[in-house]
């Protein structure tokens, strides 16, 4: 019987992050859960492709934009279950048993992980706490990972082809079919450390509010990119 999970990782100049993300997947490979890794790239100019090939990943390319990249990765994946993961997100070692239990008991629901940052102090804990509360209210973000059966994803309309907020749009499409998984995904805190926890967190909340109020994701993406380059 083939392994049920295909891991899909969207990338853009992620050569430095991919090895650690892949290392976090190894327990799932050893448990017979992970069958393939798909790296869907948006035009990297670093060594992302070489790293992906060294990992044995299926390589997919196309225009930059996380929603479109994930959608192309899903199309190239072979598994009945999809684990959509950001390149800078690392899963805790116990994730395979948590995922297996979820797949067996909740095939009609999409699972997401509890968020933590790879940083110490009160600010990372506070921001992660807010993110986990927001998730329980129905809006997990992509850096928490998403484990979903491809039929459930298809019934929700697939991954929206958006450059930003594709995770929020997908979470809203999956309303009532989201489930918190009792395992942790730790994500990089680089942008928070560069911009400051309050400024970055406030900017993210402002963008979320604008999106929910109907703002164009293309415009939000341009503002997000400008803020990230500061």
DSSP secondary structure, 37-73, as one string: EEEEES---SSHHHHHHHTT-EEEE-SS-HHHHHHHH
10: closest CA among 54, 56, 67, 55?
67
pLDDT confidence of residue 71: 98
Q: How far apart are CA 86 and CA 65, in angstroms?
A: 13
Domain boundaries, the chain: 5-119+139-189
pLDDT confidence of residue 12: 97
5-119+139-189 — its CATH code? Answer: 3.90.550.10
Q: pLDDT band at 2, cuts 50/70/90?
A: confident
pLDDT confidence of residue 222: 78
pLDDT confidence of residue 227: 47
Per-residue pLDDT at 65 exceeds 70: yes
Task: Give residue-wise pLDDT tens across range 8-48.
Answer: 999 999 999 999 999 999 999 999 999 999 999 999 999 99
Mean pLDDT for all residues in the chain: 95
Burial (0-12, 13-18, 19+ Cβ within 10 Å), 191: middle
Q: Which residue has the tokens 């999970």?
A: 5
pLDDT confidence of residue 225: 61
């Amino acid at each position: 019987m083939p392994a049920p999970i295909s891991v899909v990782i969207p990338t853009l100049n992620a050569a430095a992050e991919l090895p650690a993300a892949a290392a976090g997947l190894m327990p799932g490979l050893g448990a017979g859960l992970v069958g393939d890794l798909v790296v869907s790239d948006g035009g990297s100019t670093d060594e992302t492709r070489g790293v992906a090939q060294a990992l044995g990943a299926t390589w997919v390319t196309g225009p930059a934009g996380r929603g479109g990249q994930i959608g192309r990765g899903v199309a190239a994946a072979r598994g009945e279950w999809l684990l959509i993961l950001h390149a800078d997100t690392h899963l805790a070692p116990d994730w395979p048993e948590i995922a297996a239990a979820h797949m067996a008991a909740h095939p009609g629901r999409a699972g997401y992980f509890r968020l933590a940052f790879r940083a110490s102090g009160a600010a990372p804990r506070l921001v992660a706490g807010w993110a986990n509360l927001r998730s329980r209210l129905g809006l997990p973000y992509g850096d928490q990972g998403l484990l979903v059966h491809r039929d459930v994803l298809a019934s929700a309309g697939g991954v929206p082809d958006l450059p930003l907020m594709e995770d929020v749009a997908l979470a809203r499409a999956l309303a009532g079919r989201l489930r918190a998984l009792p395992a942790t995904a730790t994500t990089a805190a680089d942008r928070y450390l560069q911009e400051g926890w309050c400024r970055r967190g406030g900017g993210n909340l402002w963008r979320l509010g604008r999106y929910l109020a109907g703002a164009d994701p293309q415009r939000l993406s341009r503002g997000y990119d400008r803020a990230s380059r500061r």
